[in-house]
Structure 1
């Protein structure tokens, strides 16, 4: 088992389709922690789906709402599944990492495309002229920058990714 302080959160970051929500629930069960899906908190705060926010107010509005939700989040001993664009807010990531370990669930672009299909209905925060490939390249650098631990998802099912996260957390210094 990982040597985490009981108050420490595990923050999952990565592209849509990387398994943050699914692996997050598995991790919460395995480690006896709570689970928070920030996409759901954003929808609750806005009273709309992520896609409705993007369609009606633009991708920047989604990022702004996401940042506000993340900065308001004050939890302990939780698995936090963030939206794919959480890493655009340095302030939000600093806030989350002050009491948590960031785990990047890394999958290749081809897997993202396979898993999310028609991304136009996913509420993905991207410029209207930006391809999924361009978005992937832009975000990849940010995920790497904020990650305390990177776990490759390629060739692994959700349980195997969960196992790899637990093993990886065990190799980190006590937090």
Structure 2
């Protein structure tokens, strides 16, 4: 089976669920935000501060375009969907899974969002960011998995099930 690429809003559980999913499937786990931090030698929030939004998105796009993995669960940053080339590459090397949660759940999970290195435009709220990104996650996903009211374990099981079903249909 190919790679499994997790996309979705910050707080959707891409990293948390990705690690468990990788263990259960016997896959490697890769967090693309950590690759960005390693390359740039600083935190995401500092990259956004020094390079600005466009600069960060360009770096995120470049780093994700260079991912060369096999049998790996890849957790991406929430803003990955702004990188057209990166999304094209990720769709070629894996099954892209959108971890879908409603706005209230995301909002409750995030707490201090600024510490997470979330890409906001000037004057943008979490709600407007959510509304802007959701259609893009839907557009790029091979599989959409709704995790509302599920535990991490149940969400992970549902993702594994949907990926298997999708793989059979390929």
TM-score class, shorter-chain normalisation, is over 0.9
Cα drift, residue 121 of structure 1: 1.7
1:164 matched residue in structure 2 = 158
Q: Does 1:85 align with 2:79?
A: yes
1:133 matched residue in structure 2 = 127
1:96 matched residue in structure 2 = 90
* Contact 1:60–1:125 (Cα < 8 Å) also in 2: no
- SS of residue in 2 equivalent to 1:17: coil
Using the alignment, how far apart are the partners of 1:22 and 1:114 within structure 2? 16
Stretches of structure 2 that go unaligned for 5 or more consecutive residues are none
5 Å matches for 1:53-64? 53-64=47-58
1:152 matched residue in structure 2 = 146
Could you say what the CA RMSD is over the residues aligned between the two structures, in angstroms? 1.0
Cα drift, residue 92 of structure 1: 0.6
Using the alignment, how far apart are the partners of 1:37 and 1:94 within structure 2? 18
2:112 matched residue in structure 1 = 118
* Contact 1:9–1:76 (Cα < 8 Å) also in 2: yes
1:73-108 per-residue CA deviation (whole Å, 9 max, x = no partner) reads 111110000000111111111101112100000011
1:28 matched residue in structure 2 = 22
Higher helix share: 2
Using the alignment, how far apart are the partners of 1:41 and 1:127 within structure 2? 23
Using the alignment, how far apart are the partners of 2:93 and 2:53 within structure 1? 28
Using the alignment, how far apart are the partners of 1:31 and 1:48 within structure 2? 31
Point out 4+ residue stretches in structure 1 off by more than 3 angstroms.
none
- SS of residue in 2 equivalent to 1:35: strand
5 Å matches for 1:6-17? 8-17=2-11
Cα drift, residue 128 of structure 1: 2.0
- SS of residue in 2 equivalent to 1:101: strand
Q: Matched residue pairs, number?
A: 169
- SS of residue in 1 equivalent to 2:166: coil
Q: Does 1:50 align with 2:39?
A: no
